[in-house]
A and B are shown apart, each in its own frame.
Chain A
Amino acid sequence: MESNRRSFLKIGGICALGLGALPVVEALAATDLPKVMSEPRALVGKKWGMVVDMKKCWEKGKPGCKDCMLACHRTHNVPDIGTVKEEIKWIWTEPFECTFPTLDNEFSVENAKERPYIVLCNHCTNPPCVRVCPTQATWKRPEDGIVMMDFHRCIGCRYCMAACPYGARSFNFREPRPFIQTELNMTFPTRDRGVVEKCNFCYERLAAGLIPACVEACKCQALCFGDLEDPNSDVRKLLASRFTMRRKPELGTQPNVYYIV
Chain B
Amino acid sequence: MLERALVGTQRYYRFLMVLLVLMGMGFAAYLFQYNKGLTITGMGRDVSWGFYIAQFTFLVGVAASAVMVVLPYYLHDVKVFGKITILGEFLAVASVTMCLLFIIVDLGKPMRLLNVLLYPTPNSVLFWDMVVLNGYLFLNILIGWNVLEAERKGVHYAHWIKILIYVSIPWAVSIHTVTAFLYAGLPGRHYWLTAIMAARFLASAFASGPALLILLSLILRRYTKFDAGKEAIDKLSQIVTYAMIISVFFVGLEFFTAFYSQIPSHMESLIYLFVGLEGHSRLVPFMWMFLILAVVALVLLINPNTRKNEKTLKIACGAVFLSMWLEKGLGLVIAGFIPNAFNQVREYSPTVPELMIALGVWATGFFVLTILYKIATSVKEETA
B interface residue numbers (CB < 8 A to A): 36-39, 41, 43-46, 48-49, 103, 106-110, 112-113, 115-116, 118-119, 121, 123-127, 130, 182, 185-189, 264-265, 336-337, 340-344, 346
Q: Known contacts A134-B127, A173-B39: does B112 contact A153 (CB below 8 Å)?
A: yes
Q: Known contacts A133-B121, A134-B121, A174-B39: does B342 contact A98 (CB below 8 Å)?
A: yes
Apart from A88-B45, A135-B118, A158-B48, what are 20 other A-B pairs with CB-CB below 8 Å?
A84-B44, A86-B44, A128-B186, A128-B187, A128-B188, A131-B124, A135-B121, A155-B108, A157-B108, A161-B48, A162-B48, A163-B186, A163-B187, A171-B48, A173-B37, A173-B44, A174-B39, A195-B108, A195-B109, A251-B188
A155 lies within 8 A of B341 (CB): no
A252 lies within 8 A of B187 (CB): yes
Instruction: Tell me the complex Cα distance, A195–B111, Å.
Output: 12
Instruction: Tell me the complex Cα distance, A193–B37, Å.
Output: 7
Kindly report which residue of chain B lies nearest to residue A135, judged by CB atoms.
B115
Nearest 8 A/B pairs, CB to CB: A156-B108, A165-B188, A194-B108, A167-B341, A98-B342, A85-B44, A134-B126, A174-B39
Collect the chain A residues with CB atoms within 8 Å of residue B109's CB: 154-156, 192, 194-195
Collect the chain A residues with CB atoms within 8 Å of residue B265's CB: 101-102
Report A191 CB to chain B, min CB distance, Å: 11
Instruction: Tell me the complex Cα distance, A163–B39, Å.
Output: 21
Instruction: Tell me the complex Cα distance, A134–B189, Å.
Output: 19
A98 lies within 8 A of B186 (CB): no
Collect the chain B residues with CB atoms within 8 Å of residue A125's CB: none
**A185-205 vs B: 1/0 string, CB under 8 Å?**
000000011111000000000
Choice from A153, A164, A170, A196 contacting B119 with Cβ under 8 Å: A153
Choice from B49, B107, B264 contacting A162 with Cβ under 8 Å: B49
Report A202 CB to chain B, min CB distance, Å: 22
Whether A136 is near chain B, meaning CB under 8 Å from some CB there, is yes
Whether A87 is near chain B, meaning CB under 8 Å from some CB there, is yes
Collect the chain A residues with CB atoms within 8 Å of residue B186's CB: 128, 132, 162-163, 165
Report A7 CB to chain B, min CB distance, Å: 26
B43 lies within 8 A of A159 (CB): no
B127 lies within 8 A of A166 (CB): no
**A49-89 vs B: 1/0 string, CB under 8 Å?**
00000000000000000000000000000000001111110
Query: By CB atoms of chain B within 10 A, which of A99, A135, A136, A175 has the most?
Result: A135
A167 lies within 8 A of B46 (CB): yes
Collect the chain A residues with CB atoms within 8 Å of residue B344's CB: 98
Kindly report which residue of chain B lies nearest to residue A98, judged by CB atoms.
B342
A interface residue numbers (CB < 8 A to B): 83-88, 94, 97-99, 101-102, 104, 128, 131-137, 153-159, 161-167, 170-175, 192-196, 248, 251-253
Instruction: Tell me the complex Cα distance, A8–B48, Å.
Output: 55
Collect the chain B residues with CB atoms within 8 Å of residue A252's CB: 187
Report B341 CB to chain A, min CB distance, Å: 3
Collect the chain B residues with CB atoms within 8 Å of residue A135's CB: 112, 115-116, 118-119, 121
**A-B contact list, 19 entries, CB within 8 Å:** A83-B44, A84-B45, A86-B44, A98-B342, A101-B265, A135-B119, A153-B115, A154-B112, A156-B38, A156-B109, A158-B48, A161-B48, A173-B38, A174-B37, A174-B38, A192-B109, A193-B108, A248-B188, A252-B187
Choice from B108, B116, B188, B343 contacting A158 with Cβ under 8 Å: B108
Report B18 CB to chain A, min CB distance, Å: 32
Report A172 CB to chain B, min CB distance, Å: 7
Collect the chain A residues with CB atoms within 8 Å of residue B264's CB: 104
A173 lies within 8 A of B106 (CB): no
B126 lies within 8 A of A157 (CB): yes
Instruction: Tell me the complex Cα distance, A193–B342, Å.
Output: 25
A101 lies within 8 A of B343 (CB): yes
Instruction: Tell me the complex Cα distance, A175–B121, Å.
Output: 28
Collect the chain A residues with CB atoms within 8 Å of residue B119's CB: 135-136, 153
B43 lies within 8 A of A173 (CB): yes
Kindly report which residue of chain A lies nearest to residue B129, judged by CB atoms.
A134
A170 lies within 8 A of B45 (CB): yes
Collect the chain A residues with CB atoms within 8 Å of residue B46's CB: 85, 167
Kindly report which residue of chain B lies nearest to residue A94, judged by CB atoms.
B342
Kindly report which residue of chain B lies nearest to residue A248, judged by CB atoms.
B188
B124 lies within 8 A of A132 (CB): yes
